[in-house]
Amino acid sequence: MTARYAGWVVLNYPVVTSRSRDNAGGYDHLIGNIQTYRYLGFKVLCICRWSPRLVDLLEGALVLNIVPGAAVPALPAPSAATGTVSMLRLAPFWRRLAQAARAGALTLLGAGLQRLLRPRLLHQRANLRLMFESHGHGVTHLVELNDEYVPPSTCDAYLTVAPRPTLAAPQFVWRWPVPEVGRFESARFQQRLASLAQPQHRLKVLLFGIGGTTSPQAIRRFIGGHPWFDQADFDLHVFGGDIGAPAVDGVVQHGWCDPAQMDTLDFDAAVLYYDPHVYDDDRLRLGSPTKLWKYIDWSLPVFCNRPHVSEYFLGRFDAGRDVLNDPAQGQSYAAHLQSLRRDTLPVTYAEGMAGFLASLLHDTAATMTHPTRKTHT
């Protein structure tokens, strides 16, 4: 039986809003965290990026969309004359004063909310936009690390998908929780593998989310050279944003779509593509490919352009055509993906986190079953 806790969690997640359409991965992480804490019995208050809906409800959590800032901060444009990026001009005094006042107000708000709610946990996604100090007796401070950046402030423990041996604080090591958008169907998955082996129609490949991508032409070239698509005709369908202004033959861009409402029955496979100039190997090692879990929920065979993801997540089943031609290989691939997905369900994450929290909160009254896998270092 998983531990049940009482009290509040303050979840500081200023990289997304409660209705995010511009950061699908971060939004999934936010919902996964909310579902995890709700499953453990906590009440949740989220601090998110500004949107016109300042107060909202999301998965049973109260959300304040109050932190200013763009979804993706704008970068200075290169000079037309030199082709180089010049230093940013210093903002006018009144703007700097407003920014300082705004930052001070948010800091005071964070301290006030902690004193008012007396939360058991302060959970913050590491970011450069807004990080609170923990206030009040009994507040346990958790910092979620999604890439190489580690905030300079101290905390009681880190949440990470890969061990960080240079950090002294305890670490809960687990793949991020991601909510379900469907149920894996093994029969449909096998049918799609057979369709890839002997295509009877123009194949449709899904890319859901454009994080880590820069060029639709590069993605299409990769797919065309992949063993699964040897001499096969295909179209790449992109959801989640525009990754190229000029039209590209064989690339269909659809914009944003709610993954829970996606109709994926007509797709034959799904691609994970990460431009090495955007996501290097360390970034992939320290992150978790959120779109992969959607692909599994949609029963889609998945392939990737990066060796680390192919080996660590896909078991290298995507490396050749054996998985298409050998039913036993196809069944092993399906079982492998299902096992991965079970590990990232919020309920599984909560069961693993319960034991870790017990050691941090010193809650001897809670009754729980400790997971058999190693969850902290």
Structure tokens at 195: 């369709």
Identify the band that residue 367 occupies on the pLDDT scale cut at 50, 70 and 90: very low
What number of other Cβ atoms are within 10 A of residue 163's Cβ? 13
Q: What is the pLDDT of residue 342?
A: 96
Residues in the chain: 377
DSSP assignment of 102-166 equals HHHHHHHHHHHHHHHH--SEEEEE--SS--PPP-STTPEEEEE--SS---SS--SEEEESS--TT
The tokens describing 191, both together, are 């049918």
pLDDT in tens, 177-232: 999 999 999 999 999 999 999 999 999 999 998 877 878 889 999 999 999 998 89
The angle formed by the CA atoms of residues 125, 169 and 163, to the nearest 5 degrees, is 75
Per-residue pLDDT, 244:
62
Please report the beta strands in the chain, taking only residues with DSSP state E, as ranges in sequence order. 8-13, 43-49, 55-58, 61-67, 121-125, 140-144, 157-160, 171-173, 203-208, 234-239, 251-255, 269-272, 302-304
Could you tell me if 38 and 58 are in contact, meaning their C-beta atoms sit under 8 angstroms apart?
no
Q: State residue 110's pLDDT score.
A: 80
Arithmetic mean of pLDDT, 4-30: 89
- CATH class of the structural domain 8-71+93-177+345-361: alpha beta
Structure tokens at 35: 């579902």
Q: Give the class (CATH, top level) of 186-344.
A: alpha beta
The Cα 38–Cα 346 span in angstroms is 10
Model pLDDT, residue 22: 73
* Of 362, 368, 333, 364, residue with least CA distance to 350: 368
SS3 62: strand
Q: Are 147 and 161 in contact (CB under 8 A)?
A: no
Mean of per-residue pLDDT scores for the chain: 86
End-to-end CA distance of the chain: 23
Interval 60-87 mean pLDDT: 63
Determine contact, residues 293/341, Cβ cutoff 8 Å: yes
Q: Distance between CA 64 and CA 7 in Å, rounded?
A: 18
| Bridge partner residues of 158 (DSSP) | 143, 171
Q: How is the chain split into domains, by residue range? A: 8-71+93-177+345-361, 186-344
